[in-house]
Chain A
């Protein structure tokens, strides 16, 4: 089993829709979690950190559920510019990137 797993998608959603991604992790010792965004043929960039109490940044909300060992990313009011691959990241003594979930927002 991979240490960090994501549904690869693609998720195709219309503009204005709400979309949610989940990511599961296998190592209960994982301490820190993040979501990165990667545009096509570009480098990953940090989107937001994930805390047990939840973390909101504008239209983006991230949640951590330690009991079930998953993290989520919710995007409200999707924009065309949100089209990208979203990478889930977990870390303990090393950093593990998930394979990414592809999102396409359609006009």
Chain B
């Protein structure tokens, strides 16, 4: 009963480095999301994918790219990391709004 699996759990990057955050769900959900969470800011949507093959920008997409590889997987890429991207990143999936299931998060520090 894995739900939503995110990797890695922790990462430290130097400014300018790139990396990809991986997310996979085994609940056959159509929709998947990437959020970032910063103190006092709440969860902010970066990108989402309503179904396989589609992606759309959320509230804070700049500096990120996504790929919906198949129904199960939705990855988030930072092409050139900046200190402002230091945050906790959560992947989520859903059938409908109330059915949000979150992954355990990735704690990213950019130095």
Contacts and interface: CB of A to CB of B under 8 A. Distances in A.
Nearest to B94: A95
Interface residues of A, number: 21
Give chain B's interface residue range (CB within 8 Å of chain A).
10 to 19
A4 B41 CA distance: 11
A99 B98 contact: no
A49 B100 CA distance: 12
B104 interface: yes
A1 to B, nearest CB: 14
B97 A91 contact: yes
A97 B98 contact: no
Contact of A44 (B40, B41, B43, B98): B43
Interface in A1-39: 4, 8, 32, 34, 36
B40 A43 contact: no
Interface in B73-101: 90, 97-100
Contacts of A87: 42-43
A8 B40 CA distance: 8
- Which 3 pairs of residues, A with B, have the shortest CB-CB distance? A43-B102, A99-B42, A97-B43
Interface of A: 4, 8, 32, 34, 36, 41-46, 49, 87, 89, 91, 94-95, 97-100
Interface of B: 35, 40-43, 45, 90, 97-100, 102-105
